[in-house]
Amino acid sequence: MAELLRSLQDSQLVARFQRRCGLFPAREDSPGENGPSERATRVPEAAHLPANPQLVMYIGQVAKDILKWPRPSSPPVVKLEKRVVTEYGMPSTHAMAATAISFTLLISTTERYQYPFALGLTMAVVFSTLVCLSRLYTGMHTVLDVLGGVLITAVLITLTYPAWTLIDSLDSASPLFPVCVIVVPFFLCYNYPVSDYYSPTRADTTTIVAAGAGVTLGFWINHFFQLVSKPTPSLPVIQSIPPLTTDMLVLGVTKFMVGIVLIVLVRQLVQNLSLQVLFSWFRVVTRNKEARRRLEIEVPYKFVTYTSVGICATTFVPMLHRFLGLL
């Protein structure tokens, strides 16, 4: 077993996969280089997937800084992403996010919409597999990192599934719920494991957790203040997914663009305001990039900014849609 795990963690395995995909290092790359040269064959950086299950992403991010397993060595691996090269590798949070998103969506919709389960399962497997393979192609993870991320997510989904209904009902059960939604995530982010050197892991974790907290708080605001119509006592019987028409497509794109513009404006406004307040409070020179990395500045401004983004997306964007007659 130990030999199998070592082989799955071997950088040569990742390098061979890259070569089979047609990705080779530039000839002038030196043996001691940590990443691809400017002339190395490159593809655009993989987009960071949104991670709706906060628990999955937080556990994955924290596990990286606790285990401190290195990413694949370069050479022989060609690394196509430079921003996260300072982070540790195990587990792959992209693999965790893809598995969590695809399979929670599958589980949540099978009893509500009528579609072939085999088709939904195939799409979930294909989506998560493509994301996992992309982490190998970009040289960011070993095979063991990816498999570890998938297995951890599978365990978490299995353990939390019986409580999904209870969790959904808590968002409108008590006026004290928002306090827990804000205090607990902020405490977890502020007490994130200390790394030997700076990496964007803590900032990314705060962004993910804060956005999730904002979304949860936004739903609570909607229900508690009755900003949305109350759902019917029982969900409708299994219904077919409505066909996509031109009118639906235009309406969807319009609602998306309106929502994105409002979210970007809120993000920029809250970020600038929170940084100004924190810089003034801690007497830091404005626009000092190094100061942004300090714990007492990075975590609060990230948390406030992306909590606001989550609230905006779930509360103010639907209100704007309703005001514009888009609902």
Active-site annotation, residues: 94, 141
CA 304, CA 180: separation in Å to the nearest integer? 15
**Buried (b) or exposed (e) across 263-273, using 16+ Cβ within 10 A?**
beebeeebbee
Q: Cβ–Cβ contacts within 10 Å for residue 288, how many?
A: 13
- H or E stretch including 240? strand 239-240
CA 267, CA 236: separation in Å to the nearest integer? 37
User: What does the block give as tokens for 231?
Assistant: 């759902």
CA 96, CA 75: separation in Å to the nearest integer? 26
